[in-house]
A and B are shown apart, each in its own frame.
Chain A
Amino acid sequence: MKLILTEEQQFLKDTAQSFARDKTPVTHFRELRDSDNSQCWDDGVWQEMVELGWSGILVPEKFGGSEFGMAGISVIMQELGKTLTPSPILSTSVLGVSAINMLGSDDQKENYLPKIVAGELTTALAIDEGNHHDPFAIETTAILDGDHWVLNGKKVFVVDGSSADTILIVARTSGKSGESNGISVFVASKKIAGLDVSKISTADSRNYANIEMSDLKLEQNALLGEKDLAGETIEKILDLGRIAISAEMLGNTEEAFEVTINYLKERKQFGVQIGSFQALQHRAAKMFCEIELTKSAVIAAMHAADENSNELERLSSLAKFQAGETLHLVSNEAIQMHGGIGVTDEYDIGFYLKRARVAEQIFGTSEFHQARYADISGF
């Protein structure tokens, strides 16, 4: 496994970079935040991404996708992360596509994947139920009653939950909370009785929802794949999600760092550029080292996913851990090094801090992944 991009992947990254700079600079995010757009992303921008083929990067060719792999979608996420571009790409093109493709029957794939590729359908993965990510702590129940399923339970902090057309609900069909056995995934259209989606308002001004299922009745074919057996696959889907968001966080970090370094070269105090102060230089140099480590962890993880490596779990945890630690550090230092203007709403750097903390929570914090890495490694 070489830790570099292929020519095609580099080309895709360059395309995404131009897209983000030209069409969705940070002002685009600011406008969305200040508008009354409740889905927190722009339909027109998403349709342009769809036209570029980004919705179908993980979709098999026979369902209209490009099979460009995790490396492909990760470099796009990285570039979008630089300008804080909101889109349903994580929830739909990574999580939704992976869940349907890995768990679903041919009919289900045929039913959903081409629509996702065409930009006609967005999805959200409803998994977490508590204050912290804990993938198998599932108490939402699904019981087969005659010819249909009945679901009851509560989901929280569902990424893109308030805008998604279709919700993928992780529920327990047997066993008890904490076990990986007995987990199943169901597909539900948002507009259905018994499914209550309420948008929550978060610091990063993106779209999340709490979802309540009260005697939600679903047809038998709403079950994705087989009953009870989704646990292991859910972990893999989450690992792909973790890698994708790590790439986005790497992009967040790179941009926040670059903006800060430029500020150190411009801002003068005591008659000199503040970047000449060693107290700031050494902190900047340490951040540089951590960013280099993050780049390596992310690229190793995305290639591991594409090569179906048995190191996927460890590398995905390493990537999310390292991306989380580094973004945490850089987002804090960026504010401090900007001084007073860093804490004003008028200046963009604060957006990176707010996005950072939310992204750190998604699919497990650094502490979560540190513990997971230790367990997998047998420490």
Chain B
Amino acid sequence: MEHLEQFRQEVRDWLEENCPPSMRTPLVPEEEVWGGRNAKYVNPESKLWLERMGEKGWTAPNLPKEYGGGGLDRDQTKVLHQELFRIKARPALNSFGIWMLAPCIIEFGSEEQKREHLPKIIKGEIRWCQGYSEPGSGSDLASLSTKAEDMGDHYLVNGQKVWTSYADKADWIFALVRTGPKEPKHNGISFLLIDMATEGVSTKPITLISGKSPFCETFFDNVKAPKENLVGVENSGWTIAKKLLQHERNFISNFGLAGGGTGSGADVVNIAKKYLGEANGQIANPAQRENITLHKMKEHAFGLTLQRSGDEGAKASAASSMFKYYGTEHNKDRYELMIAAMGNKGLGWTNEGFSDDEQAITKAWLRTKANSIEGGTSEVQLNVISRRVLDLPN
């Protein structure tokens, strides 16, 4: 404990010296940092902040020091997060590489792959995207058909991915490809890393019901991927894929709860008081007040459950499906309540007649509809809970 308090003081001193002033102000979307070869920094202090945090390894505090991570244990990581939160520091780096890929490289990657990729992920030098879904493979992900043929020193990749977030901005993609076309579907899949700059890779953005989105279609047309970029053993990529989905699920459910990700961060109670008015300090419409209370109580209990899971140090797999299911359904509910509270002000599309904040909530409401689809639908999560947690028969 004493050692932890000493660590806290060190963190505090370091942040005091190294977190630039503008990085302690609320984040504006155009200053979000994702890193990568082509990163542009509207605010030069974002770049500085990333470099300093990356150098320390604190963009990935719990990854091993030898690969550029922070090398912190669970308690130290918590302290770091608390201290960052205390000074309201902006995230130095948003990264699919850190959230999803790095844990899998640690577990399944070769020593060379760890040395090659992890430091660049942690410093934000290379930006990654995820190539999982295909037009014909949504919930039934294992039916994917993008093929990678063994050509001796490389794989020849042909096919199409969809829902690739930020493919048009990413430097590399981690993709599931079919290497064993004759194997049963789960057994013929491999986990392959592909440089997006390779000839034959192209991307096209997707417009959603909410408007512009980071999603893309990604096409592979006779793309040569060196064999050293296979992670794990050929045809056993499904194991890695499942593990990575757990990391993704945890990430999405935490993000949804924080009101981040596809949210506007607006608080439903404040919105309701503003647009429905107050009566004796209460949300004026009793029926909506009741619905909102119910929502907030579920949110409280769910937040406690995330906390308990952390305190128990529970194994990720069982819990992650529950968190993904509950967190995303809850987030959808929040935006339904929010636009309901706003009445006709909750339905704006452009700035003719609507403020920026109002439009943002409307767009976020539409965007949340995808939360319970992406990263495994709610129905798939319920299947996982039934089979893996409750052990119900197939």
Residues in chain A within 8 A of chain B (CB atoms): 2-4, 261, 264-265, 272-273, 275-276, 278, 280-282, 284-286, 288-289, 292-297, 299-300, 318, 321-322, 370-371, 373-374, 377-379
Contacts and interface: CB of A to CB of B under 8 A. Distances in A.
A292 B322 contact: yes
Residue of A3, A261, A278, A322 contacting most chain B CB atoms (<10 Å): A3
Interface of B: 269, 272, 281-283, 289-290, 292-294, 296-298, 300-302, 304-305, 307-308, 311-312, 322, 325-326, 379, 381-383, 385-387, 389-394
A379 B322 contact: no
Contacts of B293: 370-371, 373-374, 377, 379
Nearest to B269: A379
Contacts of B292: 379
19 contacts: A3-B311, A265-B393, A275-B392, A275-B393, A276-B394, A278-B383, A282-B383, A285-B325, A286-B382, A292-B305, A295-B308, A299-B308, A300-B304, A322-B297, A370-B294, A371-B293, A374-B282, A374-B289, A379-B269
Contacts of B379: 282
Contacts of A379: 269, 272, 282-283, 289, 292-293, 296
A278 B383 CA distance: 8
Contact of A281 (B290, B325, B382): B382
A276 B393 contact: yes
Contacts, number: 109
A371 B286 CA distance: 11
B326 A289 contact: yes
Given A4-B308, A4-B312, A379-B282, A281 B289 contact: no
A2 B392 CA distance: 32
A318 B382 contact: no
Contacts of A373: 293, 296-297
Contacts of A318: 297, 300-301
Nearest to B305: A296
Contact of B393 (A2, A273, A289, A322): A273
Contact of B304 (A286, A289, A296, A378): A296
Nearest to A287: B390
Contact of B392 (A276, A286, A374, A377): A276
Nearest to B319: A292
A171 to B, nearest CB: 30
Given A295-B305, A379-B269, 14 more contacts: A3-B312, A4-B308, A265-B392, A275-B393, A281-B383, A282-B382, A285-B381, A288-B390, A292-B322, A293-B304, A297-B304, A318-B301, A322-B297, A378-B282
Nearest to B290: A370
Majority DSSP secondary structure for residues of B touching A:
helix
Contacts of B302: 293
A5 to B, nearest CB: 10
A321 B297 contact: yes
A371 B379 CA distance: 32
A295 B68 CA distance: 39
B301 A378 contact: no
Nearest to B392: A275
B250 to A, nearest CB: 15
B322 to A, nearest CB: 5
Contacts of B312: 3-4
A178 B389 CA distance: 48
A278 B379 CA distance: 10
Contacts of A292: 305, 322
- Max chain A C-beta neighbours (<10 A), residue from B300, B307, B322, B385: B300
Contact of B325 (A4, A289, A294, A297): A289
By Cβ-Cβ distance, the 6 closest A-B pairs, closest first, are: A281-B386, A296-B304, A285-B385, A3-B308, A293-B301, A296-B305
Contacts of B394: 276
Contacts of A321: 297
Best-buried of B283, B297, B312, B325 by chain A (most CB within 10 Å) = B297
A332 to B, nearest CB: 18
Contacts of B304: 3, 293, 296-297, 299-300
Given A3-B304, A3-B308, A288-B385, A370 B390 contact: no
A377 B293 CA distance: 9
B301 A261 contact: no
B386 A282 contact: yes
Nearest to A292: B305
A324 to B, nearest CB: 11
Given A273-B393, A296-B305, A289 B269 contact: no
Contacts of B390: 261, 281, 284-285, 288
B311 A4 contact: yes
B308 A296 contact: yes
A278 B380 CA distance: 11
A318 B394 CA distance: 36
Nearest to B306: A296
A103 B314 CA distance: 42
Contacts of B283: 379
B84 to A, nearest CB: 21
Nearest to B310: A3
With most chain A CB atoms within 10 A of its CB, the pick from B289, B292, B298, B382 is: B382
A266 to B, nearest CB: 10
B210 to A, nearest CB: 27
Nearest to B325: A289
Contacts of B269: 377, 379
Point out which of A272, A278, A281 has the most chain B C-beta atoms below 10 A from its C-beta.
A281
A97 to B, nearest CB: 27
A293 B325 CA distance: 13
A300 B326 CA distance: 19
Contacts of A296: 301, 304-305, 307-308
A38 B391 CA distance: 42
A281 B394 CA distance: 10
The winner among B296, B381, B387, B393 for most chain A CB atoms within 10 A is: B393
A373 B325 CA distance: 25
Contact of A2 (B311, B322, B381): B311
A370 B297 contact: yes
Contact of B296 (A261, A297, A377): A377
Contact of B301 (A281, A282, A322, A374): A322
A85 to B, nearest CB: 26
A275 B79 CA distance: 44
Contacts of B382: 281-282, 285-286
A263 to B, nearest CB: 11
Nearest to B273: A379
A321 B294 CA distance: 10
Nearest to A281: B386
Of the candidates B304, B305, B326, B387, the one having the most CB atoms from chain A within 10 angstroms of its own CB is B304
Most buried by B among A292, A299, A300: A292
